[in-house]
Amino acid sequence: MIEILYQDDDIIVCMKPAGLLSEGEGSDSLLTVLAAQCGGQIYPVHRLDRGAAGLMVFARNSKAAAGLSRAVQEKQLKKEYLARISGVPAEKEGEMTDFLFKDSRKGKVFAVKRPRKGVREARLTYRVLWQDEDSSLVRVALDTGRTHQIRVQFSSRGMPLWGDGKYGSRVKGELALFSCGLGFPHPKTGKMMEFEAKPAGQPWRAINET
């Protein structure tokens, strides 16, 4: 059963479990599970990596989907994440800007030095919430929404997310990436909708100390 935080005739805000796809069809897709649980068609408007968990919003009709998609394009949909990373950033808060290249054949994204065909700029800001000897808990706000962006930008600086073997982590376990903050204008009323959530489980043992 998917945890629903809010729903009306136009939208559903829910908690995506780690391991489900945020797009597509099939029994391992959150769309399929939500459609069976809530009834009717579900329209995706943004994505979250399969291994990540946390807040997502979906549309329940095509008009709402168009409105939410417009909010994404106009950068009115705000997303923030918690990430447990290996190491500690030199600055307690800051900005990261990189050029990212998505290699579809390898199924990975790489940070590259200069723009070229297929390369897109990626920007985020972060703030360190907690740290110990060999890891940090950071809160991240995305300015751009590139594939695997948070994972690649921290990994390229020698700080892979816990559990992210794809991008160099030696820590076993689930991917320590959680969508903790979500804000957007309601596609019908225009009212600003804001949601916050906290993760639970092994990678997040420090979360209640922040």
Tell me which residues of the chain have a pLDDT lower than 50.
Answer: none
Q: In the annotation, is 49 catalytic?
A: yes
Q: 81 pairs with which residues across the strands?
A: 140, 179
CA–CA distance, 133 with 13 (Å, rounded to integer): 36
Whole-model pTM: value is: 0.92
* pLDDT tens sequence across 26-48: 889 999 999 999 988 999 999 99
Q: What share of the chain is helix, strand, coil (3-state, %, to 5)?
A: 20, 40, 45
At 117 the pLDDT is 84
Residue type, 3: E
Token couple for 50: 């399969």
At 207 the pLDDT is 62
Domains of the chain: 4-78+184-193 (3.30.2350.10), 81-167 (3.30.2350.10)
- Which residue among 9, 10, 49, 98 is the active-site one? 49
Reported as half-sphere exposure (CB side, CA atoms, 13 A), residue 91 has a value of 8
At 208 the pLDDT is 56
